[in-house]
């Protein structure tokens, strides 16, 4: 397979480079800077990208690559630290400059530049550096410059070595993707034939190798898209040697338990253990009103139930998890380390249960790539496009004490909201939408009777990263239908409210 090798010098955007390369249909492999020249050559790269990094090349202990890398005849693109390293190792001079650049900076390209052909004459680029190349190595020409950075890009066309001080992988850089395309297609001559199906095939081989011919794997299925895609991939790799445990804590959305069971048991013919533990969870939550206590209780119960099921099965060899790249970052993990999502329900399980290894086949992928992989593997659209759902489930959407009656009530209201959003064709416009059972009752009138019932709130948000969010302006006619249906169809609800708060200061969930 045609491969682009990305050498990681600890930059925060390394995986973003890999993702952009994949989006251009080129297979990429990220290797740490400690990889030997022999290891790199063994991957038969058609192009090499040196990532950014926090160090300064002039420091004695700065991460370096073998200078022979530049003599292999393989095109190399150095980005930020990668460019400085190239400059330094090839005899140029890198120095700390007084004026550091950070943020969007206009960069002026030289007409003669090959790499920057698609750039505007003055092109906004994302910069973040204190050091820069101040003297070019022999054979190089300036490709672009900014006011504070005379060598914002450099190239040696003869040897096919290129460097950019800015970050083409960051979307803020105008025409950044076009730059990467030019490097990969016109300079390295990649065919651009890589597809998600290839990723699936490659991961299947890896999983088979790791698990061996007889090994068994246990996976905790949450019903969310990540664990579902991991399950589908493992199932393709090792079939029935994968066992999935899906715990119903009684706080799932309407129809969720059945949908997960049908998809994996019927369509994928998997060993699925679906445990109805709702009674145990609800009992443990009795009388509990504090949000963090609810979370802790649910987390602990989950481990308890899961452990029991795992013990019933007899210990399986490996434990699999649908950790994706943003989780790795959130948990402070680095490449190659086995960090288990700290916020994940099953954190701590592998160690307690004595599994020999942890398999995380999605840990290099971003959410949209996980969805693309899920589609490739044949998962149904409702599973692949499911909106995020918190591990503690409806418990954190019921303010105050959680009871089965309240869970049923908020579940029904939620199902109505989901139906109406779908019927109005708004599903893809709203990032997350649900109902909340407020802990408030108010007086109403139904027929001729006085009621004293619950108020349900509607929460609909748009967001890219769930760190900040805006409330979604639901059309009034849709709101009217949702409200009418909820008070008519859900018993003991006589009022519907709309949450019009952004995050921050509010969070998306109410608890
Ligand atoms: P907040 O409420 O923090 O939510 O603004 C941000 C996103 O995270 C989800 N969320 C959780 N997911 N376990 C999870 O797996 C949790 O305990 C949890 N709490 C919030 C929330 O649904 C939203 O998408």
CA of 509 to the centre of ligand 1 (A): 6
Residue the block writes with tokens 């119960």: 301
Q: Are strands 141-145 and 153-156 parallel, antiparallel or unpaired?
A: antiparallel
- Is residue 330 within 6 Å of ligand 1 at its C-beta? no
> What local confidence, expressed as pLDDT, does residue 411 receive?
98
**pLDDT by 10-residue block (mean), the chain, 511 residues:** 93 91 93 94 96 92 96 98 98 90 94 96 94 97 96 97 97 96 98 94 95 94 91 96 95 93 90 95 97 94 89 88 76 39 47 81 88 95 89 96 97 98 94 97 94 98 86 98 98 98 94 95
Q: Are strands 3-8 and 45-50 parallel, antiparallel or unpaired?
A: parallel
Give the pair of three-digit tokens for residue 6: 């990305």
Q: Where are the domains of the chain?
A: 3-187, 196-384, 399-498
Cα angle: 92, vertex 182, 171; to 5 degrees: 90
Give the ligand 1 atom nearest the CA of 388: 24
CATH number attached to the domain at 3-187: 3.40.50.880
Q: What is the pTM of this model?
A: 0.79
Pocket probe for ligand 1: among 330, 387, 388, the residue whose CB has the most ligand atoms within 8 Å is: 388
SS3 (DSSP) at 426: coil
Give the ligand 1 atom nearest the CA of 392: 17
Q: Are strands 93-109 and 122-135 parallel, antiparallel or unpaired?
A: antiparallel
Residue the block writes with tokens 């120095």: 95
Q: Residues near 295 by Cβ (< 8 Å), separated by ≥ 6?
A: 392, 395, 396
CA of 274 to the centre of ligand 1 (A): 24
For ligand 1, atom 24: residue with the closest CA: 388
Picking from 108, 148, 100, 101, the residue whose alpha carbon sits closest to that of residue 124 is 108
Give the pair of three-digit tokens for residue 42: 């063994």
CATH number attached to the domain at 196-384: 3.40.50.620
CB atoms within 10 A of CB 342: 12
> What local confidence, expressed as pLDDT, does residue 97 receive?
85
CA of 79 to the centre of ligand 1 (A): 34
Identical topology for domains 3-187 and 196-384: yes
Q: Residues near 243 by Cβ (< 8 Å), separated by ≥ 6?
A: 216, 217, 218, 219, 270, 271, 272, 273, 313, 316
Q: Distance between the two ends of the chain, CA-based, in angstroms? A: 48
CA of 139 to the centre of ligand 1 (A): 53
Adjacent-strand bridge partners of 144: 109, 153
- Is residue 367 within 6 Å of ligand 1 at its C-beta? no
3.40.50.150, 3.30.300.10, 1.10.3720.10, 3.30.70.1060: CATH of 399-498: 3.30.300.10
């Amino acid at each position: 397979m045609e491969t682009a090798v990305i050498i990681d010098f600890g930059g925060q955007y390394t995986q973003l480079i890999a993702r952009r390369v994949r989006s251009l249909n080129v297979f990429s492999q990220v290797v740490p800077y400690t990889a030997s020249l022999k290891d790199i050559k063994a991957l038969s790269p058609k192009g090499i990208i040196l990532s950014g990094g926090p160090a300064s090349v002039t420091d004695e202990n700065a991460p370096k690559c073998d200078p022979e890398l530049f003599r292999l005849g393989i095109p190399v693109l150095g980005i930020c630290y990668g460019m400085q390293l190239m400059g330094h190792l090839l005899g140029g001079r890198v120095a700390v400059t007084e004026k550091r650049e950070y943020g969007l900076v206009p960069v002026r390209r030289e007409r003669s530049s090959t790499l920057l052909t698609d750039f505007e004459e003055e092109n906004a680029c994302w910069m973040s550096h204190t050091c820069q190349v101040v003297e070019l190595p022999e054979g190089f020409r300036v490709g672009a410059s900014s006011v504070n950075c005379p060598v914002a890009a450099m190239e040696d066309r003869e040897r096919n070595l290129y460097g950019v001080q800015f970050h083409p992988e960051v979307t803020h850089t105008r025409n950044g993707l076009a730059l990467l395309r030019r490097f990969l297609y016109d300079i390295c001559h990649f065919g651009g034939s890589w597809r998600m199906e290839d990723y699936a095939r490659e991961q299947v081989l890896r999983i088979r190798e790791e698990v061996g011919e007889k090994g068994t794997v246990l996976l905790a299925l949450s019903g969310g898209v990540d664990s579902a895609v991991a399950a589908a991939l493992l199932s393709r790799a090792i079939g029935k040697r994968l066992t999935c445990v899906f715990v119903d804590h009684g706080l799932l959305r309407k129809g969720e338990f059945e949908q997960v069971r049908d998809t994996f048991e019927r369509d994928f013919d998997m060993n699925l253990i679906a445990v109805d533990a709702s009674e145990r969870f609800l009992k443990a939550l009795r009388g509990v009103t504090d949000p963090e206590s609810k979370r802790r209780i649910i987390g602990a119960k989950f481990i308890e139930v899961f452990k029991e099921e795992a013990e019933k099965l007899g210990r399986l060899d490996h434990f699999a998890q649908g950790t994706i790249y943003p989780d790795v970052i959130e948990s402070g993990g680095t490449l190659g380390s086995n960090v288990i999502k700290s916020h994940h329900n099953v954190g701590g399980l592998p160690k307690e249960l004595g599994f020999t290894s942890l398999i995380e086949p999605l840990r290099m992928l971003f959410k949209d790539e996980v969805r693309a992989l899920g589609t490739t593997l044949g998962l149904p659209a409702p599973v692949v496009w499911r909106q995020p759902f918190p591990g503690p489930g409806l418990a954190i959407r019921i303010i105050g004490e959680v009871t089965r009656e309240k869970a049923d009530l908020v579940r029904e209201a939620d199902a109505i909201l989901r139906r109406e959003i779908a019927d109005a064709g708004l599903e893809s416009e709203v990032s997350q939408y649900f109902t909340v059972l407020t802990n408030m009752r108010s007086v109403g009138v139904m027929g001729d009777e006085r009621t004293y019932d619950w108020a349900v709130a509607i929460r609909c948000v748009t967001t890219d990263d769930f760190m900040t969010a805006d409330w979604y302006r639901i059309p009034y006619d849709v709101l009217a239908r949702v409200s009418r249906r909820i008070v008519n169809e859900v018993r003991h609800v006589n009022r519907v409210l709309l949450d019009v708060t952004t995050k921050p200061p509010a969070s998306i969930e109410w608890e």
